[in-house]
Amino acid sequence: QVQLVESGGGLVQPGGSLRLSCAASGRILGINHMGWYRQAPGKEREVVATITHSGSTVYADSVKGRVTISSDSAKTAVYLQMNSLKPEDTAVYYCNANLVGANFWGKGTLVTVSS
């Protein structure tokens, strides 16, 4: 089992920035990659960004150039730096950890972009 706890969400004005954090505990040595997903009201959950154990990253087209995913050296935390936020970025953001044969999710943190 892997436990994930997100933090850092909140209300921000358009054009503003937020940094989300996700702390991982449990079977962290088995993690292949981690990522951030989001789910807006009435929409399906979608990937925002992922990072592998070796540090390779992938971003959704909708956030490229505005978002940076990173992790700490011990691979126990993953971060999402979001800049130039838009109202359409409003969603619950979930942290994900992928192991062989299993996916684990945090409970999510709400990001609201509004003036």
Whole-number pLDDT of residue 29: 84
Three-state DSSP at 53 gives coil
Mean pLDDT of 33-56: 95
Whole-number pLDDT of residue 100: 84
Asked whether residue 47 carries a pLDDT value surpassing 90, the answer given is yes
> Mind listing the pLDDT tens digit for each residue in 68-114?
999 987 778 999 999 999 999 999 999 999 988 889 999 999 999 99
3-state helix, strand, coil in the chain (%, to 5): 5, 55, 35
- 81, 91, 14, 76: which is closest to 49 by C-alpha? 81
Q: Which long-range contacts (CB under 8 A, 24 or more apart) does 103-107 make?
A: 104/1, 104/2, 104/3, 104/4, 105/4, 106/4, 106/5, 106/6, 106/22, 107/5, 107/6
Asked whether residue 19 carries a pLDDT value surpassing 80, the answer given is yes
Q: Are 2 and 103 in contact (CB under 8 A)?
A: no
Whole-number pLDDT of residue 64: 97
